[in-house]
Structure 1
Amino acid sequence: MPRLWKSASLLAFLTAAVQGLLVRHDDSFQPDYILRVSAENYTEACMDRYSVLVNGSLPGPEIRLREGETSWIRVYNDMSDANTTIHWHGLTAFTAPFSDGAPAASQWPIPPGHFFDYEVRPEAGTAGTYFYHSHVGFQAITAKGPLIVESCDPPLYEYDDERTILISDYFSKTDAEIEAGLTSSNFTWSGETDAVLVNGHSRPATNATGSCELAAIDIEPGKTYRLRFIGGTALSFVSLAIDSHEVSVIEVDGHDTKPLKTDFLQIASGQRYSVLLKAKSEAELAETKIRQFYIQITILVRPEVLTNFAVLNYISDTKPDLTTVPSPPPLPVAETVQGWLDYELEPAVPANDFPTLNEVTRRIVIDVHQNVSDHTIWLQNGYDWVQSFPKSPYLVDIYTHKLNVDETYHRALTRGNGFDNITRTFPAKIGEVLEIVWQNRGTVSNGGLDAHPFHAHGRHYYDIGGGDGLYNATANEERLKGTCPIQRDTSVLYRYRKETEVLAPSGWRAWRIRVENAGVWMYHCHVLQHMVMGMQTVFTFGDREDVIEQSGPVAEGYLVYGGEAYGNGERDPVVQHFKD
């Protein structure tokens, strides 16, 4: 057992102990997982790149947690010149208040040469597919790995085995080069994706040399597999299909769904899908004399079509061919299906708390568009948000009385759109039922449009669909009749055309959420380039009293950059155990 922090005063200790133990994590403390974030040269897709990695690889190690159980994950920042954090993407964040991993929003980042112990406890009923990634700058392009939450109960659907498939992008430019170009007054685009990686592997079709190989997903004939697809891309919105195979979707963003057959998937950055695949029998394989099938991945809604591959390999004595890139592709080149599976996916167990339109207390419409002034930025209701905007994290400011959420709420209601332009936050009260509408509008310069996968930290929302033009609540309520909306944490605001009139409405995505978990939660586009360019928002749920009631008082070490909650080579961290 870790020993209690003996140097704290009895009064301070008893105050903190109301909600959690204050513990010095010395050598007697053993975390469940250790992640080390470093920056080094790394070979991807037959090319070398200076990248931020977790435990020296892409992807980082797979983490498996159990719902309802607390795990401690220690994250070391081994870089000498950059901050980092780890965000547990998709977890509903009913963990310690500083464990969401959103710098400038809910925690101070981990300084160079320091480490932070994250207390992570998935809620009961949230078994499914997730991933973790850095939330600083452009680091998440490579600093990430799969995270699986296991159920305490037997799986809802039977399968023999499972495979995890994490999809990511490769850019030849470094993180620093990309960020500098995107934020400069002399705007320089990152360039388009050079390759799509599957579990860190890719082989460009134009690359005739090099030792890199396509990823192999090994399976055995006749078995049923759960394939967990993770959209870990920076930019790419992909269509994915497996030659000569059909699958059934059974889980979306950590929620079981009724099986829905499909011959392809559309996966945006941040999204996850589990599917069941019934492997071919030995007799079927013998008849065709084919034991490997290509997984074809095509990038959607970008100026150039890029198609990369992985291999679904039926295990045999013959080593699979992982260096041949098929030309032409075995499957037709995919096109975007607008609103793919909207209004079709249903929860496996119907929810009893879906908010009806009559329960909605407030509708918040967030207009998103690109603007060009002294530099190119993405705006929400006329404002951008970047990690350098707040002088200290909002959650820290709530604890230290620097941010008065009641005042921000009053200003937001006075402005009429739910947005406080002073703090650039969307405040909400506990007990409200929000309908949040992301409204796509044409770029100021030329009416251009893009697709955006919007991700919510904190509790998942009910996705109530999307469509072209301007959001119409009455029309959408009619369309929802007879459907059962699913809960998600990432869904796509589609681009229905390449361009329109300047600021003209052209596409929407709508959510409903009950405001229950007090805290500070990022809501943002998950395209890393768009985030760096300002396409992020912050929602504050509840007032200071709600936050304190949920977490209790917190130690001073969380409230300052590099405080005692962050360990280093010279000191052990002093950590609050909120769930003990």
Structure 2
Amino acid sequence: MERWNTTIHWHGLSQRMAPFSDGTPAASQWPIPPGHFFDYEVYPTKNESGTYFYHSHVGFQAMSCAGPLIIEDPAEDQPYRNQYDEERIVLITDYYNQTDEQIEFGLLNTTFKWPGEVNAVLINGVGVAKGETAGQGACKLPVIDVEPGKTYRMRFIGGTAISLVQFAIEGHHNWTIIEADGSYTKPYTLPKDFRFMQLSSGQRFDVLFKTKTVAELNGKTDYLIQYETKDRPAVYRGYGVLRYSGGKPNITTAPSTPLFKLSNHTYDWLEYALEPLKPNNFPQASEVTRRILIDNRQIGLSAEIIWQANGLNWTELLSSPYPGEEPYLTHIYKNGPSAMPNYTAALQNGGWDPHSLAFPAKLGEVLEIIWINTGSLVKNGGGQDYHPFHAHGAHYYDIGSGNGTYDPIANEKKLAHYNPVLRDTTNLYRYIDKTTAGSQLGWRGWRLRVTDPGVWMMHCHILAHMIMGMQTVWVMGDFQQVTRIPLFDAESYLTFGGSAYGNETFSPWVNHFFEDADEEEV
């Protein structure tokens, strides 16, 4: 790009082997300047096979700068390899008929302007925008091609900018989930009332999906796909086609009326349902060393609207230690232990250090992080939204969600007979549209073993909310652990446009931090 900085985040991969390659500007790396390039180091470790995706982590760029990333299992460790014939990727993304620059300007301007609802939801880059008609001109329905009598591993990827999407297929209700966010699960067949897929921005699910036999098709080879947004003021409803080979395409336009009535109870889907295929060292309540309650609320500043987490508004443009100037990781390398967040101060301030604006954690801690939904303070309106919260670095154990306030005793009773899956993106739902301004209504719980030293983000994955400051930065480990890569090897990453960033006149200096990784236990 000629005008804009950019980065790439490898969504769901821990990146603990290459801390300058997580793709988070103002947190772990300098952004890539216009006209430059950067060689990312990506080293998936043994337990990181699965469905992922990559996307820009700057502004609103991820709406169009995103793509699938599939990490294959080692040949000797493919638990479901004999249960499906082929794979299909289903990447779901949003489309606005505005540019990134227009949307970002509206969100950051003192005269705040919300971008509004999406103009389309796309399947593998294809869809029909509002006001357009499938079958006319270049507008076409998205198509997923299959063959009769096969089982497919459908890899669903939520690459949306804002949308929580439900997805159903005419005459096909056999959805068996086998993986969530890169973690294999025990096979879970969706019950009768929830025979549709649901995923929000950042989530991924792998599903075993059986197609009909030739006899069952009885000559019908096109089946409608219906998908629609949920928990938004206005619904976008789109259609596609599941198309069997060997037949003549006969569905080219959308139906006049919806085929399905999909659920509005988004918060019931898969809660306390998925369990790990293998034991995953889930920490019991007795192991929790610290519980951090994070209150998420929307407030108005004059004509500007922002989001806060425990009173902290953090963006990649207006961030500390030096707003808009220095990423945390490079700042720590260049300034030594004094640049580390103050752990004691953070304990007294809702988990974050008021000087560095970062959440510190010690290796070996077991954190219980409770994300709380709070009624909007903008004009005391009390409005609520849903938030798909995403963690960089190590995955967390999702311990569930609920309406009202978090009750650890009641939730522990649910966990007594349920082993959570390791995840990286789960939803803080809204249970009603509005509540009393400032009151808490709804929570999402995580448990996290702090194992990966570095600078990692946790944030809402709705792009507009990120731009409005719904992000947190966590510094995990002490100074020696965070700066475990020697300064000599890190120097090329420490300045904007430094020698790790190439352009048309010189190649970047690239360090391979994991050349000896095979000798480690990963």
TM-score (norm 1): 0.84
- How much has 1:439 moved relative to structure 2? 0.8
Opposite residue 253 of structure 1, the aligned amino acid is D
Question: Does the 8 A contact of 1:159 with 1:225 survive in 2?
Answer: yes
**Aligned partner (choices 254, 257, 277) of residue 348 of structure 1:** 277
Name the SS of the counterpart of 2:40 in structure 1: strand
Q: Hey, what does 1:239 align to over in structure 2?
A: 166
Is the Cα–Cα contact under 8 Å of residues 205 and 308 in structure 1 kept in the other structure?
no
CA distance in 1, matches of 2:496, 2:216: 61
Aligned partner of 2:88 among 145, 159, 163: 163
1:316 matched to 2:246: yes
The AA in structure 1 aligned to 2:240 is A
SS in 2 for 1:349: coil
Distance change in 2, residues 1:102/1:330 (3 Å)? same
Q: Equivalent residues in 2 for 1:216-295 (5 A)? A: 216-246=143-173, 247-262=175-190, 263-286=195-218, 289-295=219-225
CA contact (8 A) 1:363 1:434 kept: yes
- Residues 7 and 57 in structure 2, CA contact (< 8 A), matched pair in contact too: yes
**What SS does the corresponding residue of 1:176 show, helix, strand or coil?**
helix
Partners of 2:333 and 2:487 within 8 A in 1: no
- Which piece of structure 1 moves more, 87-96 or 203-212? 203-212
Mapped partners of 1:505, 1:514: distance in 2: 27
- Tell me the SS of whatever aligns to 2:413: helix
For the Cα contact (< 8 Å) 1:453–1:525, is it kept in 2?
yes
> Which string of whole-angstrom CA distances, capped at 9 and with x for unpartnered residues, describes residues 64-87 of structure 1?
xxxxxxxxxxxxxxx110000000
User: What amino acid maps onto 2:264 in structure 1?
Assistant: E
Q: 2:138 aligns with which of 211, 229, 234?
A: 211
User: Are positions 1:514 and 2:436 aligned together?
Assistant: no
1:551 to 1:443, Cα distance in 2 relative to 1, 3 A = farther
1:504 CA drift (Å): 0.5
Which of 560, 564, 570 is the equivalent residue of 2:495? 560
Cα offset for 1:154? 4.8
How much does 1:404 deviate?
Answer: 3.1
What residue number does 2:342 align with? Answer: 408
CA distance in 2, matches of 1:550, 1:452: 35
SS in 2 for 1:83: coil
Q: By how many angstroms is 1:402 displaced?
A: 5.6
Cα displacement (A) at 1:210: 2.3
Q: What is the 5 A alignment of 1:128-147?
A: 128-147=50-69
The Cα offsets for residues 40-96 of structure 1, whole Å up to 9 and x where unpaired, read as xxxxxxxxxxxxxxxxxxxxxxxxxxxxxxxxxxxxxxx110000000000121231
Q: Supply the distance in 2 between the matched residues of 1:551 and 1:354 (Cα, whole angstroms).
A: 33
Cα drift, residue 482 of structure 1: 0.4
The answer to whether 1:86 aligns with 2:4 is: no
* Residue in 2 that maps onto 1:199: 124
Find the residue that maps to 1:549 and give its secondary structure: coil
In the alignment, the residues of structure 2 paired with residue 535 and residue 407 of structure 1 have an alpha-carbon distance, to the nearest angstrom, of 20
Q: CA deviation at 1:204?
A: 3.9
Question: How far did residue 406 of structure 1 move?
Answer: 5.2
Cα deviation, 1:248-291, whole Å, max 9, x if unaligned, reads: 111100011111112112101000000011110000001xx321
The 2-side partners of 1:345 and 1:128 are apart by 16
* Offset, 1:163: 0.3
**Residues of 1 paired with 2:130 and 2:61: CA distance?**
26
CA contact (8 A) 1:345 1:486 kept: yes
In the alignment, which residue of structure 1 is the partner of 2:518? none
Tell me which residue corresponds to 1:76.
none
Please say if 1:337 is aligned against 2:231: no
> 2 CA distance for matches of 1:332 and 1:317?
28
CA distance, structure 2, for counterparts of residue 430 and residue 107 of structure 1: 22
Of Structure 1 and Structure 2, the greater strand share is in 1
Confirm whether residue 180 of structure 1 aligns to residue 105 of structure 2.
yes
Number of the residue aligned with 1:437:
370
Is the contact between residue 427 and residue 540 of structure 1 (CA under 8 Å) also seen in structure 2?
yes
Instruction: Please tell me the root mean square deviation across aligned C-alpha atoms, in Å.
Output: 1.5
Match of 1:418 in 2: 351
CA shift in 2, pair 1:204/1:402, >3 Å: same
Deviation of 1:203 after TM superposition, in Å, equals: 2.0
**Range moving further from structure 2, 440-449 or 327-336:** 327-336
Answer yes or no: is the 8 Å Cα contact 1:240–1:265 preserved in 2: yes
Distance 2:353 2:145 in 1: 51
Q: What's the counterpart of residue 519 of structure 2?
A: none
Superposition pairs for residues 67-106 of structure 1, below 5 Å?
A: 79-106=1-28
User: What is the Cα deviation at residue 240 of structure 1?
Assistant: 1.2
Tell me the SS of whatever aligns to 1:534: coil
Rounded to whole Å, the distance in 2 between the matches of 1:459 and 1:504 is: 31
Pairing partner for 1:189 from 114, 136, 148: 114
Would the alpha carbon gap of residues 333 and 406 (structure 1) be closer, same or farther in structure 2, given more than 3 Å must change? Answer: closer
User: Which residue of 539, 545, 548 maps to 2:474?
Assistant: 539
> TM-score, length-normalised on structure 2?
0.93
Checking the alignment, whether the CA contact within 8 Å between 2:221 and 2:247 is kept in structure 1 is no
Distance in 1 separating the partners of 2:97 and 2:78: 41
Q: Secondary structure at the match of 2:41?
A: strand
Q: What's the counterpart of residue 508 of structure 2?
A: 573
Q: Quick one: distance in 1 between partners of 2:431 and 2:171?
A: 30
Alignment of 1:468 with 2:393, yes or no, is no
Structure-2 change in CA distance of 1:205 and 1:575 (3 Å): closer
CA distance in 2 between partners of 1:396 and 1:327 (Å): 56
Aligned match of 1:303: 233
Question: C-alpha offsets along residues 310-329 of structure 1, whole Å, 9 cap, x if unaligned?
Answer: 211101142453x3112212
| CA drift at 1:185 | 1.4
Q: Structure 1 pair 403/496, CA: closer, same or farther in 2 (3 Å)? A: farther
The secondary structure found in structure 1 opposite 2:141 is coil
Structure 1 residue 395 and structure 2 residue 322: aligned?
Answer: no
Distance 1:402 1:180, change over 3 A: farther
Runs (5+) with no aligned partner, structure 1: 1-78
State the distance in 2 between where 1:145 and 1:380 align.
Answer: 29
Residue 205 to residue 105, structure 1, CA distance change in 2 (3 Å): closer
Match of 1:42 in 2: none
Aligned-pair distance for 1:105? 0.3
Q: How many residues align?
A: 497
Tell me which residue corresponds to 1:41.
none
Aligned-pair identity in percent equals 51
Q: Which deviations, in whole Å up to 9, do the C-alpha atoms of 1:417-473 show, x marking residues without a partner?
A: 211122211100111110011011111131110000000000000000010111111
Cα shift readout 1:537-559 (whole Å, capped 9, x = no counterpart): 00110121012336775332100
Amino acid of the structure 2 residue aligned with 1:454: F
**Distance in 2 between residues matched to 1:550 and 1:475, nearest whole Å:** 43
**Superposition deviation, residue 292 in structure 1:** 1.2
Q: SS of the residue aligned with 1:397?
A: helix
Offset of residue 337 of structure 1? 2.9
Q: Which whole-Å CA distance do the structure 1 matches of 2:348 and 2:236 have between them?
A: 47
Whether the 8 Å contact between 2:341 and 2:356 is mirrored in structure 1 is no
Runs of 4+ in 1 over 6 A off after TM superposition: none
Q: In the aligned structure 2, how far is the partner of 1:470 from the partner of 1:553?
A: 49
1:453 aligns with 2:388: yes
Q: Tell whether the 8 Å contact from 1:425 to 1:540 is kept in structure 2 after alignment.
A: yes
The Cα shift of 1:531 comes to 0.4
Note the C-alpha offset of 1:155: 2.6
CA distance in 1, matches of 2:284, 2:141: 47
